[in-house]
């Protein structure tokens, strides 16, 4: 039952890893392509038996941190369908566009800004290569920060990235689509699939999905599927403030589906057409937005770090180009298998949304401040994270291949235990002598507190590997000694260490590792 110790662990940040992530997610019941038997639907995915649990655990982890632990934040679950004027007021009808460009030869459509950003990622890869070379050359004496700040080649690459992104930001801000095309041509960017450089002009494309409400064609009302959950919060601002007797500053949080007709919907669950958001709008006194912007940037980064993934996986990207509603914005970017990309947005939305809804609805959306003895339209600080992107972040970092001392490898999904779909698997060593009954008894006891499973198929070593690959933090084995003294072996997924414990202590041992409190207390 004993295993050899790990001496080396690797999983390169490459295309191969990304392919492995996608196939592992399918093979182990995490994510399937939607309508798989009909060859799938592009950029739409279904969460399978393990995926749905991981997703629920991420959602709960967010909800607990935002709503349960903050006495001035409450939740809401607003409808996906909203009055169509909502989207006029929010600016989505007029300004929720992406710049698209078609390749005339391949007939493929791309987001013009993404083509330019991907070009910059290639330059960034060159910087990483220089760092790697220098790490090898200087060994332990290597000082990465100093190298990045002084190496001439790296500085030139960085300078190039900065100037390209600056120009892109400015052109998009001014809606100068002609210059975006010119930039693509100057950088000599080709179609990533065909290599052709025969581009059309850049055009704007609205991302909202339209639908109809009502049976008869003349009375039917044109609706949109919501492209973000935030507006459901804004239109309920007064209802919640009054019924909840909320005082500024206070927040309203919501998780739920959003829909976007994305032009480039690739990269698995990173960019989907139907996805889930976890958003919180924090209503504040005008003039305090800088303070709360810094506060929520820090708070959200701490939430990410509490999950134990290395700090190098995260970075802030402060926006040059601001959306029409924002006076400051930053992304928390994560090092996905295809490089650093946006995981969460923190936006200082000013009073844009509430003012616009006041104007379009004719209803007051204000707060009476007793201290100041006056009413005002609050400012808003938003935190907005994609649940599916968070899933991909956690899942892709967790998937590792470890080389063991006896020249074998194991595939292990090192999910933070608090998020793992199944917390423990219980095995009888063999299928007789009353061991299966004892093991099932343990499952029946533990299942009131945790997701646990019973497995008796194959040798124990094989069962361990199966649970490693699916991400189960604990394996509990019942053997003949259990019959004598009620003790079992408990094996830890990451260290593979095993110890003998009393059955009555199992609940406490597992709780210690998987309890939300234990993780969130680190914040
Ligand atoms: P991107 O620049 O990647 O298109 P965005 O800036 O449009 O994202 P926001 O409108 O700020 O995204 O949405 C908030 C969050 O919702 C994002 O940080 C991301 O995690 C998630 N999100 C947005 N679009 C998608 C999508 N198509 N699929 C999955 N998650 C998404």
Interval between CA 305 and ligand 1 midpoint (Å)? 20
Closest CA to 43 of 272, 386, 261, 274: 272
Taking CA atoms only, the protein residue closest to ligand 1 atom 24 is: 271
CA distance 376 to 365: 8
DSSP state string for 333-377? EEEETTEEEEEEEEEEEETHHHHHHHHHH-----EEETTTTEEEP
| Neighbouring residues of 485: CB distance < 8 A, sequence distance ≥ 6 | none
Q: Which domains does the chain have, with CATH numbers?
A: 5-96+207-397 (3.30.930.10), 101-206 (no CATH), 422-520 (3.40.50.800)
**Count of CB atoms within 10 A of residue 224's CB?**
21
Burial of 306 (0-12, 13-18, 19+ CB in 10 A): middle
Q: How many CA atoms lie within 13 A of 510 on its CB side?
A: 29
Cβ-contact 476, 424 below 8 angstroms: yes
CA distance 483 to 441: 13
CA distance 189 to 513: 49
In a mutational test of the pocket of ligand 1, which residue from 271, 347, 390, 391 has the highest number of ligand atoms less than 8 Å from its CB?
A: 271
CA distance 366 to 242: 11
Interval between CA 434 and ligand 1 midpoint (Å)? 53
Closest CA to 144 of 131, 154, 153: 131
| Neighbouring residues of 448: CB distance < 8 A, sequence distance ≥ 6 | none
Interval between CA 483 and ligand 1 midpoint (Å)? 54
| Neighbouring residues of 342: CB distance < 8 A, sequence distance ≥ 6 | 317, 331, 332, 333, 389
Two tokens at 341? 């990309």
Interval between CA 234 and ligand 1 midpoint (Å)? 19
Interval between CA 297 and ligand 1 midpoint (Å)? 17
Q: Edge to edge, what strands does the sheet with 339-350 contain?
A: 73-75, 250-259, 274-284, 379-386, 339-350, 328-336, 314-318
Two tokens at 65? 């941190």
Interval between CA 92 and ligand 1 midpoint (Å)? 14
Cβ-contact 31, 51 below 8 angstroms: yes
**Count of CB atoms within 10 A of residue 185's CB?**
11
Cβ-contact 235, 87 below 8 angstroms: no
Alpha-carbon distance values, 102 to 108, 109, 172, 336, 338 (Å): 6, 4, 18, 27, 23
CA distance 200 to 181: 8
Supply the pLDDT for residue 174. Answer: 85
416 Rama sector, left if φ>0, alpha if ψ -120 to 50, beta otherwise = beta
Supply the pLDDT for residue 14. Answer: 65
| Neighbouring residues of 403: CB distance < 8 A, sequence distance ≥ 6 | 6, 7, 8, 9, 10, 409
- Secondary structure letter of residue 517 according to DSSP: H
Residue whose entry in the numeric block shows the structure tokens 């999910």: 415
Two tokens at 440? 């099932």
Taking CA atoms only, the protein residue closest to ligand 1 atom 2 is: 342
In a mutational test of the pocket of ligand 1, which residue from 345, 380, 392, 394 has the highest number of ligand atoms less than 8 Å from its CB?
A: 345
Q: Which atom of ligand 1 is nearest to the CA of 260?
A: 27
In a mutational test of the pocket of ligand 1, which residue from 110, 275, 316 has the highest number of ligand atoms less than 8 Å from its CB?
A: 275
CA distance 439 to 207: 53
Taking CA atoms only, the protein residue closest to ligand 1 atom 8 is: 342
- Phi and psi at residue 160, to the nearest 5°: -65, -45
**Count of CB atoms within 10 A of residue 499's CB?**
11
Q: Report the pocket of ligand 1 as residue ranges, CB < 6 Å.
A: 228, 260, 262, 271-272, 275, 277, 342-345, 384-386, 388-389
Supply the pLDDT for residue 161. Answer: 95
DSSP state string for 146-175? HHHHH-HHHHHHHHHHHHHHHHHHHHHHTT
Interval between CA 134 and ligand 1 midpoint (Å)? 35
Residue whose entry in the numeric block shows the structure tokens 């030869």: 105
Distance of CA 355 to the CA centre of its chain: 30
Cβ-contact 443, 426 below 8 angstroms: yes
Burial of 473 (0-12, 13-18, 19+ CB in 10 A): buried
In a mutational test of the pocket of ligand 1, which residue from 296, 389, 393 has the highest number of ligand atoms less than 8 Å from its CB?
A: 389
**Count of CB atoms within 10 A of residue 184's CB?**
22
Helix (H, G, I), strand (E, B), or coil: what is residue 46? strand
Going residue by residue through the chain (523 aa), what tens digit of pLDDT does each one get? 445 433 333 444 567 889 999 999 999 999 999 999 999 998 999 999 999 999 999 999 999 999 999 999 999 999 999 999 999 999 999 888 889 999 999 988 899 999 999 999 999 999 999 999 999 888 888 888 899 999 999 999 999 999 999 999 889 888 899 999 999 999 999 998 899 999 999 999 889 999 988 877 677 788 999 999 999 999 999 999 999 999 999 999 999 999 999 877 678 999 999 999 999 999 999 999 999 999 999 999 999 999 999 999 999 999 877 777 788 999 999 999 999 999 999 999 999 999 999 999 999 999 999 988 999 999 999 999 999 999 999 999 999 999 988 888 999 999 999 999 999 999 999 999 999 999 999 999 999 999 999 999 999 999 999 999 999 999 999 999 999 999 999 999 999 999 999 999 999 999 999 999 999 988 7
Interval between CA 28 and ligand 1 midpoint (Å)? 26
Q: What's the sign of the alpha-carbon dihedral 353, 357, 359, 365?
A: negative
Interval between CA 386 and ligand 1 midpoint (Å)? 6
Taking CA atoms only, the protein residue closest to ligand 1 atom 21 is: 386
- Phi and psi at residue 156, to the nearest 5°: -65, -40
Beta bridge partners of 225: 81
Interval between CA 227 and ligand 1 midpoint (Å)? 10
Beta bridge partners of 111: 100
| Neighbouring residues of 75: CB distance < 8 A, sequence distance ≥ 6 | 63, 67, 252, 253, 254
8 Rama sector, left if φ>0, alpha if ψ -120 to 50, beta otherwise = beta
């Amino acid at each position: 039952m004993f295993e050899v110790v790990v001496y080396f662990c690797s999983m390169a940040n490459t295309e191969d890893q990304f392919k492995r992530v996608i196939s592992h997610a399918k093979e182990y019941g995490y994510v399937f392509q939607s309508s798989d038997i009909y060859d799938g639907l592009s950029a739409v995915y279904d969460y399978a038996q393990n995926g749905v649990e991981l997703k629920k655990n991420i959602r709960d982890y967010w909800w607990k941190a935002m709503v349960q632990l903050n006495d001035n934040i409450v939740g809401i679950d607003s409808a996906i369908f909203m009055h169509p004027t909502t989207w006029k007021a929010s600016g989505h009808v007029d300004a929720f566009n992406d710049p698209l460009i078609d390749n005339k030869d391949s007939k493929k459509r791309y987001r013009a800004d993404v083509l330019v950003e991907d070009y910059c990622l290639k330059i960034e890869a060159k910087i990483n290569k220089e760092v790697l070379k220098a790490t090898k050359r200087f060994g332990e004496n290597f000082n990465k920060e100093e190298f990045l700040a002084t190496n001439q080649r790296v500085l030139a690459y960085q300078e190039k990235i900065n100037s390209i992104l600056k120009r892109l930001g400015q052109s998009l801000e001014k809606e100068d689509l002609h210059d975006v095309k010119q930039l693509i041509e100057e950088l000599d960017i080709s179609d990533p699939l065909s290599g052709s450089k025969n581009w059309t002009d850049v055009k704007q494309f609205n991302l909202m999905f339209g639908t109809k409400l009502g049976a008869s064609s003349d009375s039917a009302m044109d609706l949109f599927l919501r492209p973000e959950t935030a507006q459901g919060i804004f239109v309920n601002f007064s209802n919640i403030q009054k019924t909840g007797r909320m005082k500024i500053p206070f927040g309203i949080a919501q998780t739920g589906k959003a829909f976007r007709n994305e032009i480039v919907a690739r990269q698995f669950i990173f960019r989907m057409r139907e996805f889930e958001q976890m958003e919180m709008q924090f209503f504040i006194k005008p003039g305090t937005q800088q303070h709360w912007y810094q506060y929520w940037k820090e708070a959200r980064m701490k939430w990410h770090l509490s999950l134990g993934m290395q700090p190098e996986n995260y970075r802030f990207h402060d926006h040059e180009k601001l959306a029409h509603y924002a006076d400051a914005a930053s992304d928390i970017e994560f090092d996905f298998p295809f490089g650093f990309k946006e995981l969460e947005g923190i936006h200082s939305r000013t009073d844009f949304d509430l003012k616009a809804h006041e104007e379009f609805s004719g209803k007051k959306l204000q707060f009476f401040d007793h201290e100041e003895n006056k009413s005002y339209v609050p400012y808003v600080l938003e935190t907005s994270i994609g649940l599916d992107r968070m899933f991909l972040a956690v899942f892709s970092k967790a998937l590792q291949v470890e080389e063991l001392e006896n020249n074998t490898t194991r595939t292990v999904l090192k999910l933070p235990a608090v998020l793992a779909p199944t917390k423990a698997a219980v095995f009888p060593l063999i299928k007789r002598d009353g061991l299966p009954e004892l093991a099932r008894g343990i499952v029946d006891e533990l299942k009131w507190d945790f997701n646990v499973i019973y497995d008796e198929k194959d040798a124990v070593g094989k069962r361990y590997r199966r649970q490693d690959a699916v991400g189960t933090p604990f394996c509990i084995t019942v053997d003949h000694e259990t019959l004598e003294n009620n003790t079992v072996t408990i094996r830890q997924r990451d260290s593979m260490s095993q110890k003998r414990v009393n059955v009555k202590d199992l609940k406490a041992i597992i709780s210690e590792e998987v309890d939300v409190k234990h993780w969130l207390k680190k914040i």
